[in-house]
Amino acid sequence: MPKLTVKDGTEIYYKDWGTGQPIVFHHGWPLSGDDWDGQMMFFLSQGYRVIAHDRRGHGRSTQVSEGHNMDTYAADVAELTKALDLKEAIHVGHSTGGGEAIHYAANYGQGRVAKVVLISAVTPLMVQTAENPDGVPMSVFDEIREGTATKRAQYFQDFTIPFYGYNREGAEISQGIRDNWWRQAMMGGIKAHYDGIKAFSETDFTEDLKSVDFPVLVLHGEDDQIVPFPISGAKAVKLLKNGTLISYPGFPHGMPATEAATINKDLLAFFKS
């Protein structure tokens, strides 16, 4: 299994397949690079080089107790992209991974990043504050922390239902998709998952979004129950100098898995544009 040892000794697991223009996939909380299977296989078949890493403390990477914040996440990605000598790369982030991708691109992307895609991303800021009154109340994230800390296995089972919109009337529930989410989540460390809640909910990505010049595609489901579209994708695109938004009526937070064919088609069109 390929792993990169970063400056603080943490081992970051990654997959690196194919040749061609590189695409780096950034997974969401509390998952792993495996969450991109449907995209990795598709874009590999389209002639791209596809890379997916497990964030520190997640998946097969080291279960460290520290560094579970966006600055360190982005620094880890910077070390990985440098080690793999990735240039003109397209960075695709889902949920928390969207925050990681834009934070990396804004701080380390010069000369290395061609485009960025934010899918169901936590940008610009999730939590409700005086300056962000439409945000999600802190009590919601406190509940996620409590569930993660005290009953993680069952809490994560239950979390898959709103994540994929399986509580909606007429939803076709895939037990395999639910099981795969839980499998990935339980591979990671509870400390990383607990600390990661603060990282994805309280990091303000406004300046990152404003600072980037390269093309950014924002994809968001209008029925996202985890990262509501009006406070995220709809706002993020307005902060970008070169942003494009595609919103999908009825699509859930986990749409790269449930709606892979549609998402892959729109990604490919953006990559080739």
Whole-number Å distance between alpha carbons of 256 and 270:
15
Whole-number Å distance between alpha carbons of 120 and 28:
9
Whole-number Å distance between alpha carbons of 174 and 106:
37
Active-site option among 27, 53, 58, 253: 253
Instruction: Check if the beta carbon of residue 233 is closer than 8 Å to that of residue 143.
Output: no
Active-site option among 61, 193, 224, 232: 224
Which helix (DSSP H) or strand (DSSP E) does residue 266 occupy? helix 260-272
Active-site option among 95, 120, 201, 232: 95
Whole-number Å distance between alpha carbons of 257 and 156:
17
Whole-number Å distance between alpha carbons of 229 and 247:
8
Q: Would residue 142 show up in a list of annotated catalytic residues for this protein?
A: no
Q: Would residue 253 show up in a list of annotated catalytic residues for this protein?
A: yes
Q: Would residue 247 show up in a list of annotated catalytic residues for this protein?
A: no
- 247 exposure class (CB count in 10 Å sphere: 0-12, 13-18, 19+): middle
Phi, psi (rounded to 5 degrees) for 127 = -70, 150
Positions marked catalytic: 95, 224, 253
